[in-house]
């Protein structure tokens, strides 16, 4: 049985370490904030200029002036701070963010990621993705294993415009987890969803990986 999006996010949250500064991308990655392990304190950073993001507000308590980079309403903490997006990107480019969790359209077997546009479709902009994959210490991708048409998203090489080359450290999909110890190393299948076989994963993947 495939993992739910919350289960995927919970798996990603296991990579968090106490004291980490963490950036969460749009979509499934935002759910990681709901699964931070007990005893672990992390500081969430948003590209639009906020450090210390609180939980999503309850209905009726939203403040339209308080949003994350994905335009979702958020809450603040007593320790929250606000600054310009230029300062925010200086944190990212300066290597001060420990981990980012991003969505992806494709990831290649060599760790390339494509996640900012599909040619011919409306482009909202690349956001901070290109800076994040270049400046953050660890990159985790959360994505469905296959696209809506059934095509693989973990592939030998990306066909879509790249966000970054040789940058992804871990891939978490709805059926499997792949990790690699260092840039240039080969991905290894390290976990499978309950009831999912290695043969099924191989049938739904075109990238090469270790088992």
CATH number at residue 149: 3.40.1080.10
The reported pLDDT for the residue numbered 122 is 64
> For residue 16, how many C-alpha atoms fall within 13 Å in the half-sphere facing its CB?
28
Note whether 24 and 44 are within 8 A (CB).
Answer: yes
* Separation CA 204–CA 106 (nearest Å): 14
Query: What is the number of domains present in the chain?
Result: 1
Q: Is residue 113 part of a domain?
A: yes
Q: Is residue 164 part of a domain?
A: yes
Q: Is residue 79 part of a domain?
A: yes
Chunked mean pLDDT (size 10), the chain, 211 residues: 94 96 91 91 91 84 82 86 93 96 96 84 73 95 95 97 96 98 93 96 97 91
Q: Is residue 69 part of a domain?
A: yes
Q: Residue 20 — φ and ψ, nearest 5°? A: -65, 145
Q: Beta partners for 141?
A: 102, 171
Catalytic-residue membership of 47: yes
Q: Is residue 209 part of a domain?
A: no
The reported pLDDT for the residue numbered 121 is 72
Q: Is residue 210 part of a domain?
A: no
> Which domain, by its residues, includes 176?
5-203
* Separation CA 173–CA 39 (nearest Å): 26
Q: Is residue 166 part of a domain?
A: yes
* Residue 97 parent element (H or E): none
Q: Is residue 180 part of a domain?
A: yes
Select which of 47, 106, 109, 179 is catalytic.
47
* Residue 21 parent element (H or E): strand 21-24
């Amino acid at each position: 049985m495939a993992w739910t999006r919350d289960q995927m996010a919970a798996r990603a949250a296991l990579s968090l370490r106490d004291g980490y500064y963490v950036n969460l991308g749009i979509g499934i990655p935002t759910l990681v904030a709901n699964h931070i392990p007990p005893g672990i304190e992390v500081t969430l950073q948003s590209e639009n200029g906020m450090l210390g993001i609180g939980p999503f507000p309850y209905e009726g308590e939203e403040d339209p002036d308080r949003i994350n980079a994905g335009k979702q309403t958020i809450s603040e903490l007593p320790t929250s701070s606000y600054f310009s997006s230029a300062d925010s990107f200086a944190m990212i480019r300066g290597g001060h963010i420990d981990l980012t969790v991003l969505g992806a359209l494709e990831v290649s077997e060599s760790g390339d990621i494509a996640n900012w546009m599909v040619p011919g479709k409306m482009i909202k902009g690349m956001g901070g993705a290109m800076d994040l994959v270049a400046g953050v210490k660890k990159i985790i991708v959360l994505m469905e294993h296959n696209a809506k048409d059934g095509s693989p998203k973990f592939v030998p090489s990306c066909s879509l415009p790249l966000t970054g080359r040789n940058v992804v450290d871990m891939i978490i999909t709805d059926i499997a987890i792949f990790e690699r110890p260092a840039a240039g190393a080969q991905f290894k299948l390290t976990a499978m969803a309950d009831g999912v076989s290695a043969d099924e994963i191989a049938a739904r993947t075109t990238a090469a990986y270790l088992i």
